[in-house]
Amino acid sequence: MSVSARLLLLLLCVETFVLAVLEVFFLPLRLDGTLLPRWGDIQFPITIGVAIVTTPMLVLSAAGLGRSLRVAAAPLAVWALTVFVTLFFEPGGQYMLLDDWRTLMLFAGGALPGAVAVGAVMGRHARERVPGTHG
């Protein structure tokens, strides 16, 4: 892996870290008039949608940088570790972990599409190793 590819992978991992922290911090958003408009005090976990879209994009971007599965899975590992640490080890003694469906959906919304993207990269690498199967 070249130096520029390593630098780009590091940049992708930093971007993944920042996205994961923001997804956890904005997970408790509500339509209660405080930050968002007042609309019946409805829970509005938009960051779950952000995780669903961005995690596989980051995995596929990392897969384009190198041939290793570790390179492709690095953003997913950074995302999962960041979400776990941010939810359970919040500085100041307050936990960001919500004891409802939003926390589970954040984990599922980020980890499952990211894992599917890692599986797609694994399949592509396996297909390229078998003679006569690349298109």
CA distance 121 to 76: 13
pTM: 0.83
Average pLDDT, the chain: 84
In a domain, 3, yes or no: yes
- Report pLDDT digits (tens) over 22-77: 988 888 776 655 555 566 666 767 888 899 999 999 999 999 998 888 999 999 99
| 9 and 66 Cβ atoms separated by less than 8 Å | yes
What's the domain range around 123? 1-11+46-135
In a domain, 99, yes or no: yes
In a domain, 31, yes or no: no
In a domain, 66, yes or no: yes
In a domain, 6, yes or no: yes
Q: Which residue has the higher pLDDT, 55 or 87?
A: 55
Number of domains in the chain: 1
What are phi and psi for residue 130, nearest 5 degrees?
A: -85, 125
